Amino acid sequence: MMGRKIVALAGGVGGAKLALGLAQVLPADELTVAVNTADDFEHLGLYICPDLDTVMYTLGGLANPETGWGRRDETWNVLDAIGKVGGETWFRLGDKDLATHIERTRRLRTGEPLSSIIADFAKRFGIAPAIVPMCDEPVRTVVKTDDGDLAFQDWFVRLHCEPVVRSVRFAGVETAKPHPALRSFDGLRGVIFCPSNPFVSVAPILAVPDVRVALQRAKVPRIAVTPIVGGQAIKGPAAKMLAELGHDVSALGVAKYYQRLVDGFVLDVQDAALAPEIERLGLRVKVADTMMHDDSDKKRLAEAALEFVDEIAADGRH
Ligand code: FO1
């Protein structure tokens, strides 16, 4: 029997946008957003979880609409003052956002798991769907570049993704335990890979032990929404990484990367011509407008993704 719950795998800004669309169309108890934590890091003595916070602020209506990360109506007094005493200011932490990091760091030091802290923050921000970290253990993305191994945020923010990427690894992932929402996908309505960076947002979630196998075995529709449109990333370094890691710089490159993990691929209308090649990989294709400029776009894409999940279920081809 078809289940009711959707698990969405998400990373940063693009993932958060589709998660918001899904939150707008699904009853709260039918959505779990499982979020990458491998871009977490310790900075200025604080434990920062950029992707979790991006999803949380977006679903809570608190996100900065210009950047997609951080909080709206933010002020920067603390960071300015940190700069005045010679501290690091390359990673922009606003005053309101800092409150999240200070309180999270305090609670982590008492031994409370990250998942429990995020669940509590989300409740306080009035967010009904579940937002869960991929695991409670610290995992760190390390980007191997021509300039040496770099911690993810060093590469991403401080160096503006400029050093050429040779490979990516997730330090600590071997001993991580997946969040219960990622242990088995049986009985779900479906799994949706949000339009997040495949290499640094979705891959860390898949690298948590047992998640990939659980996904491969799951007898539920699994679909991915393209993060690449017209050969370019909607946001961030996904296209640059596709090229540097030797993949086709197109939605086809992403479809090939996810080939054995998904049943269907949502392609943007601009890339409709790629549909036959993606179908030849054995995937079903849905062509949709994947650009999410406003809330109605997010809702429309979420509805298209859910329709696709249900079409695959009806076909029994999963
Ligand atoms: N991204 C930037 O490009 N520059 C920043 O200064 C920056 C600060 C920041 C602060 C809090 C937060 O939650 C996210 C922040 N991000 C910033 C975004 C973040 O680095 C990326 O979106 C993700 O790590 C990639 O998914």
DSSP 229-269: ETTEESSSSHHHHHHHTT--SSHHHHHHHHTTT-SEEEEEG
What is the DSSP secondary structure assignment for residue 63, as one 8-state letter? B
Does 1 map to a domain? no
Residue 157 alpha carbon to ligand 1 centre in Å: 7
Distance CA 18, CA 152 (A): 23
Cα four-point dihedral sign 45, 50, 51, 55: positive
Residues 183 and 241 in one domain: yes
Look-up of token digits 């610290």:
138
**pTM score above 0.85:** yes
Distance CA 48, CA 58 (A): 16
Q: Is the pLDDT of residue 32 over 90?
A: yes
In 102-218 the beta strands, taken as DSSP E runs, fall at: 130-133, 140-145, 148-151, 165-171, 190-193
**What is the residue-averaged pLDDT of the chain?**
97
Task: Count up the domains in the chain and report the number.
Answer: 2
Residue 33 alpha carbon to ligand 1 centre in Å: 19
Q: Is the pLDDT of residue 302 over 70?
A: yes
Cβ 211 vs Cβ 178: under 8 Å: yes
Q: Please give the share of the chain, as a percent, with pLDDT higher than 90.
A: 96
Cβ 145 vs Cβ 155: under 8 Å: yes
Does 32 map to a domain? yes
Distance CA 127, CA 82 (A): 32
For ligand 1, atom 8, name the residue with the nearest CA.
92
Distance CA 240, CA 227 (A): 12
Residues 120 and 161 in one domain: no
Mutational pocket test of ligand 1: of 48, 56, 67, 69, the residue with most ligand atoms within 8 Å of the beta carbon: 69
Determine the structural domain holding residue 26 and report its residue range: 6-137+179-315
For ligand 1, atom 22, name the residue with the nearest CA.
12
For ligand 1, atom 13, name the residue with the nearest CA.
50
Tokens of 41: 């890091």
Does 164 map to a domain? yes
Q: What is the mean pLDDT of residues 299-305?
A: 98
Report which ligand 1 atom has the smallest distance to the Cα of 93: 10
Q: Which residues line ligand 1 (CB under 6 A)?
A: 11-13, 39, 50-51, 53-54, 69-70, 91-93, 97, 153, 156-157, 201
Q: What is the mean pLDDT of residues 159-183?
A: 98
- The model's pLDDT over 209-266, given as tens digits with 9 standing for 90+, comes to 999 999 999 999 999 999 999 998 888 899 999 999 999 999 999 999 999 999 999 9
Q: What is the CATH number of the domain that holds 68?
A: 3.40.50.10680
Residue 273 alpha carbon to ligand 1 centre in Å: 34
Q: Is the pLDDT of residue 157 over 90?
A: yes
Residue 2 pLDDT class (50, 70, 90 cuts):
confident
